[in-house]
Structure 1
Amino acid sequence: MSKLYKSILFFGLVIFTTLISCSKNYQELNENPNGVAIAAPERLLNPSLYAMVSANILRNYSINNDLMQVTVPLSDNVEIHRYILRPSISDFVWNDWYLEKTNFLDMYTIAAQNSTSKTTAARPYMAIANIMDVWVSSLITDTFGDVPYSQANKGKTESIFTPAFDKQEDIYKDMFRKLEEANTLLTGLATAQLFTETQRSLDALYGTATTSDVELQRWRKFGNSLYLRLLLRASAKADLMIDGKTAAQKMAEIVANPTAYPIFLNNSESAILRLTGATYPLRSPFVGYRDNDFTGIGGLGEFFINTLSENADPRLPIWAGKVDNAYVGMQSGYSDGNVPPRGSQLLATLRLEPLLGNIMNYAELQFVLAEAALKGYIPGLPKTYYNLGVQAAIEHWSLTMPANYLTSPNIVWEGAATQPQQMELIMTQKYFATFFTDFEQWYDYRRTGYPTLTIGPGVSNDRILPTRLYYPTAVQSLNRANYLEAVSRMGADDLKTKVWWAKP
Structure 2
Amino acid sequence: MKKVITVILIVFFGVSSCDSGFEELNENPNAATELEPGPKFTNAILRTAGDRFENWRGNLIYSSMMIQHMAATGGVWAGDKYFYNAQWSGAWFERGYNDQVKIIEDIVFQLETDPENEYSEEMLAIARIQRVFIYHKLTDLYGDVPYSEAGKGFIDGNFRPVYDPQSEIYADMLNELAEATAVLGTETSQFGAADILFGGDQEKWKRFGNSLMLRLGLRLIKVDPTASQQWVQRAIDGGVMQSNDDIAFVEHTDGPEGINRNGNGQVFSADDDMRLSDTFINALTGDPRLRIYAALPDGDDDRNTSGSNDPAMQMGLPNGLDATTVLGIPGGDNINNFSEPNRNLITKEDAPYFFQTYAEVEFMLAEADIRWGIAGGNPAAHYEAGVRAAMRQMDMYDVGTESVTDMEITDFLTANPFDAANGLEQVNTQYWIVTFLNDIESFANWRRTGFPVLTPVNYPGNESNGQIPRRLRYFEREQTTNPQNYQAAVARQGADQFTTRVWWDVE
TM-score interval for Structure 1 and Structure 2 normalised by the shorter chain: 0.7 to 0.9
Task: Look up the match of 1:320.
Answer: 294
In structure 2, the CA distance between the partners of 1:458 and 1:101, relative to structure 1 (3 Å rule), is same
Matched ranges for 1:224-243 at <5 A: 224-238=210-224
Q: 1:40–1:110: 8 Å Cα contact kept in structure 2?
A: no
Letter in 2 for 1:431: W
Task: Look up the match of 1:452.
Answer: 453
Letter in 1 for 2:320: G
Task: Look up the match of 2:326.
Answer: 339
Task: Look up the match of 1:427.
Answer: 428
Task: Look up the match of 1:413.
Answer: 418
Task: Look up the match of 2:386.
Answer: 389
Matched ranges for 1:61-460 at <5 A: 61-99=60-98, 100-114=100-114, 117=117, 120-187=118-185, 194-195=188-189, 199-207=191-199, 215-238=201-224, 246-255=227-236, 257=237, 261-278=238-255, 282-285=260-263, 291=269, 293-294=270-271, 296-308=272-284, 310=285, 312-322=286-296, 324=303, 326-334=313-321, 337-339=324-326, 341=332, 342=335, 343-349=338-344, 350-352=346-348, 354-376=350-372, 378-379=374-375, 380-398=377-395, 399-401=404-406, 402=408, 404-409=410-415, 411-415=416-420, 417=421, 421-458=422-459, 460=462
Instruction: Measure, in 2, the Cα distance between the counterparts of 1:228 and 1:467.
Output: 22
Deviates more, 1:108-117 or 1:137-146: 108-117
In the TM superposition, what is the alpha-carbon distance from 1:352 to its structure 2 partner? 2.1
Instruction: Measure, in 1, the Cα distance between the counterparts of 2:128 and 2:209.
Output: 9
Deviations 1:359-406 (Å, cap 9, x if unpaired)? 000001111111121111624122111111111000001233415434
In the TM superposition, what is the alpha-carbon distance from 1:34 to its structure 2 partner? 5.0
Task: Look up the match of 1:7.
Answer: none
In the TM superposition, what is the alpha-carbon distance from 1:329 to its structure 2 partner? 0.7
In structure 2, the CA distance between the partners of 1:188 and 1:336, relative to structure 1 (3 Å rule), is closer
Q: Which TM-score applies when normalising by structure 2? A: 0.82
Instruction: Measure, in 2, the Cα distance between the counterparts of 1:92 and 1:30.
Output: 41
In the TM superposition, what is the alpha-carbon distance from 1:61 to its structure 2 partner? 2.8
In structure 2, the CA distance between the partners of 1:403 and 1:90, relative to structure 1 (3 Å rule), is closer
Q: 2:253–2:350: 8 Å Cα contact kept in structure 1?
A: yes
Letter in 1 for 2:151: N
Q: Which TM-score applies when normalising by structure 1? A: 0.83
Task: Look up the match of 2:496.
Answer: 493
In the TM superposition, what is the alpha-carbon distance from 1:253 to its structure 2 partner? 3.2
Aligned residue for 2:260, secondary structure, equals coil
Deviations 1:76-110 (Å, cap 9, x if unpaired)? 45332011123322332112211211211221221
In structure 2, the CA distance between the partners of 1:34 and 1:339, relative to structure 1 (3 Å rule), is farther
Unaligned runs of 5+ in 1: 1-21, 240-244
Instruction: Measure, in 1, the Cα distance between the counterparts of 2:179 and 2:366.
Output: 26
Letter in 1 for 2:221: S
In the TM superposition, what is the alpha-carbon distance from 1:200 to its structure 2 partner? 1.4
Deviates more, 1:216-225 or 1:346-355: 346-355
Q: 1:41–1:125: 8 Å Cα contact kept in structure 2?
A: no
Aligned residue for 1:391, secondary structure, equals helix
Letter in 1 for 2:92: V
In structure 2, the CA distance between the partners of 1:162 and 1:406, relative to structure 1 (3 Å rule), is same
Task: Look up the match of 1:466.
Answer: 469
Q: What is the aligned residue count?
A: 452
Instruction: Measure, in 2, the Cα distance between the counterparts of 1:28 and 1:306.
Output: 69
In structure 2, the CA distance between the partners of 1:25 and 1:351, relative to structure 1 (3 Å rule), is farther
Q: 1:66–1:80: 8 Å Cα contact kept in structure 2?
A: yes
Greater CA radius of gyration, 1 or 2?
Answer: 1
Letter in 2 for 1:345: E
In structure 2, the CA distance between the partners of 1:227 and 1:300, relative to structure 1 (3 Å rule), is same
